[in-house]
Structures are given as C-alpha cells and as structure tokens.
C-alpha cells in the first residue's frame, strides 16, 4: 500500500462499485473484472468496494474479501478503498485487518448500524477502529444511518493520526463541505463528496474529490468534469455538472427512493445492456423488478449515456 495513492495531488475521482451477482446469488467475478475495465477505460483508477452501493450489509465476510481481492488484482496500480462497517467496532476491526491483508489502501467505516449514539460515543467508536486498523481509515457520513457524523466530531477525528478522510453523503447540504474544510484546516485531512449534484461545488469550495455511485454508469463524464476543472475551463465544467444532474434525475423517482433493489437495478441494468455485467441480479433473494420499470430505465439511459460500447475484459 502506498500513502501516495491517498495523498497524491489533485482531486480524487472514486467510484463506489456495484457488486455483480449471478442468478444463484454468488458474486460474479468475471463481471466484476469487466466493470473495473469499464471504469479504467473511462479514466477511473480509484475504487470503493463493499460500500452501500456494493451491497456490503448483505454480503458475508468471505464474499467481501473475494470482491476486494478481485478488484485489487484487476487494478494493481489503482487505489482501493474497502468498506469495513460491521455490527460493532470489533467486527469493523476484523474487517479492516482482513482488507489490509488483501491489499486495500484504506478502510472506510460508517456509524454503527441500528444503534444510536451521542457524538462523543461516535467519535470514540471511530477512534477505536482507527487505533487498531493497519491501514488508514476514512469515516463515512450517511443520513440513512442512526447517528450522523456532526462537523465537530469530524474535526475531532481529523486529529487522529490514522484517520485521513470523510466520505460525506449528506443529502444535498452544500454548507457541510465548507464547514468541514474550515474545521479541519491545517491538517492532512480529505473531504470526499458523496452527493452527485454537489461534485463541482465541492471542487470549487476546496474539497478533495468525490465518491459516487453514478460513476459506474458514466465514468468518462466525471473524468471530463475533473479535467475541465483542473484546466480552468469553468463553463465546460458547469455544463458537465448539468449533465450529471440530468442523469441523476432518474434516481429521484419515488420507486427508486423507496426501494434499494430498484436503486441497484437502475445502476445495473444499463451496465448489463452494455455487456459489462452478465445480469442485473443483486444479493437480496426473491426480488422481481417490474418490466415497466426496466423499460423506463432503458429508455431514460438511452437518452443520457454515451452510445459507445463499454470496454470488456477477459
């Protein structure tokens, strides 16, 4: 693991990978390798595995490890962030140690599932994992979790020598980035935006990049935005952000917001139709997606995604 991968200059474009499955519920590693190749062809070399988009809460430890190993082998020079969240800090520490052994560059942990904590307890929880993790740790703020990472808690954790970043999926709060950057100023701490519509505003505010699920579908769109921003082409960057916003419109539909399975199907179906994934299967058993919904997704994506076929890997 190279610390340069985590602290290299320039903003970080990280894609939160979906996990491909075969119909019987096993992880489809051939499709996972094709997904990595598809992202690499789109200019992505940073990968977040075993996060919420990767269905990590529905995977057992062996499958999580196998997913990580496959991505590490497919992207030996890339940066791999591994979700290590579990049923408590002991579980997360075990996951972090296993992820380090499998070649992850960093571990990423959410607040505890189900259990509500106060902010002092949440800080102690994350610090205990960071103390024991053999690789640097990022904390993952998400509004679905019982306890949010408040800005003062993030600032406290930024002083920990083994906590290097926050992935912030805040529901659209444009002020969080500036507040966290101000609270962590002077420290080598990174802010990664997890909300697609805030990617450009995060770069403008001095944030360090993004971790996005939509990058599975349109990696080149995000790479072009990053390149335009770094080149000072602000008008072009703004236009690319508008394209990202237009693509995200489908994820605001009621059926997608209400059902995790429909959210994943909206990501996986276009990848399946382009030959990247062998199927749209997920980890949940017994899921049946309405044909009308699939048709709507296909028609929408045909008007929003580039027509070029995805790259394939053996």
Q: Residue 177: give its domain's CATH number.
A: 3.20.20.70
145 three-state secondary structure: coil
Look at residue 273 and tell me if it is in a domain: no
Answer with the residue of higher pLDDT: 241 or 2: 241
Token reading at 217: 């579908």
pTM of the entire structure? 0.95
Total domains, the chain? 1
- At residue 131, what are phi and psi to the nearest 5 degrees? -60, -40
Look at residue 176 and tell me if it is in a domain: yes
What is the rounded CA–CA span in Å between residue 166 and residue 160? Answer: 12
Q: What is the pLDDT of residue 307?
A: 66
Look at residue 298 and tell me if it is in a domain: no
CB proximity list for 7: less than 8 A, separation 6 or greater? 164, 188, 190
pLDDT bracket for residue 63 (50, 70, 90) = very high
Q: Give the ranges where the chain is alpha helix by DSSP (H).
A: 3-7, 29-41, 61-74, 89-101, 119-132, 151-158, 175-183, 199-205, 219-230, 234-248, 254-258, 260-273, 291-304
Lowest mean per-residue pLDDT among 220-229, 248-257, 304-313: 304-313
Asked if residue 191 lies in contact with residue 166, where contact means CB atoms within 8 angstroms, the answer is: yes
Helices H / strands E in the chain, number of each: 13, 8
Look at residue 250 and tell me if it is in a domain: no
Token reading at 108: 């990423």
What is the rounded CA–CA span in Å between residue 61 and residue 71? Answer: 16
Q: By residue range, what is the domain housing residue 103? A: 3-233
Instruction: Please say if the pLDDT value at position 304 is more than 50.
Output: yes
Paired with 163 in beta bridges are 137
**Which residues are tagged catalytic?**
140, 167
Look at residue 171 and tell me if it is in a domain: yes
Report, as an integer, the average pLDDT of 115-144: 96
What is the rounded CA–CA span in Å between residue 276 and residue 219? Answer: 13
CB proximity list for 84: less than 8 A, separation 6 or greater? 50, 92, 95, 96, 99, 107, 108, 109, 129, 133
Could you tell me if residue 43 is left (phi over 0), alpha (psi between -120 and 50 degrees) or otherwise beta? left
Could you tell me if residue 87 is left (phi over 0), alpha (psi between -120 and 50 degrees) or otherwise beta? alpha
Instruction: Please say if the pLDDT value at position 314 is more than 70.
Output: no
pLDDT bracket for residue 246 (50, 70, 90) = very high
Look at residue 195 and tell me if it is in a domain: yes
51 three-state secondary structure: coil
CB proximity list for 200: less than 8 A, separation 6 or greater? 225, 229, 237, 238, 240, 241
């Amino acid at each position: 693991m190279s610390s340069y991968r985590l602290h290299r200059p320039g903003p970080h474009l990280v894609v939160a990978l979906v996990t491909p499955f075969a119909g019987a519920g096993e992880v489809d590693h051939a499709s996972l390798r094709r997904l990595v190749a598809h992202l690499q062809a789109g200019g992505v070399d940073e990968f977040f595995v075993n996060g919420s988009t990767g269905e990590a809460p529905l995977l057992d430890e062996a499958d999580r490890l196998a997913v990580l190993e496959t991505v590490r082998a497919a992207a030996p020079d890339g940066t791999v962030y591994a979700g290590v969240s579990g049923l408590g800090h002991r579980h997360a520490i075990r996951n972090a140690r296993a992820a380090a052994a499998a070649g992850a560059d960093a571990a990423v942990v959410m607040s505890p599932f189900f259990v509500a904590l106060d902010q002092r307890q949440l800080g102690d929880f994350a610090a205990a994992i960071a103390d024991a993790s053999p690789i640097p740790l990022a904390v993952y703020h998400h509004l679905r979790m019982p306890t949010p990472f408040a800005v003062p808690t993030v600032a406290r954790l930024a002083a920990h020598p083994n906590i290097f970043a926050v992935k912030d999926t805040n529901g659209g709060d444009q002020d969080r980035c500036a507040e966290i950057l101000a609270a962590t100023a002077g420290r080598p701490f990174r802010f990664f935006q997890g909300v697609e519509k805030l990617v450009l505003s995060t770069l403008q505010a001095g944030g360090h990049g993004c971790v996005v699920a939509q990058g599975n579908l349109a990696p080149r769109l995000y790479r072009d935005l990053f390149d335009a921003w770094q080149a000072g082409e602000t008008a072009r960057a703004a236009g690319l952000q508008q394209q990202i916003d237009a693509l995200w419109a489908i994820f605001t539909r009621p059926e997608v917001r209400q059902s995790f399975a429909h959210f994943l199907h909206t990501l996986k179906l276009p990848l399946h139709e382009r030959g990247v994934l062998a199927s749209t299967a997920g980890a949940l058993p017994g899921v049946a997606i309405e044909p009308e919904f699939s048709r709507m997704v296909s028609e929408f994506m045909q008007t929003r995604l580039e027509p070029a076929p995805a790259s394939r890997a053996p």
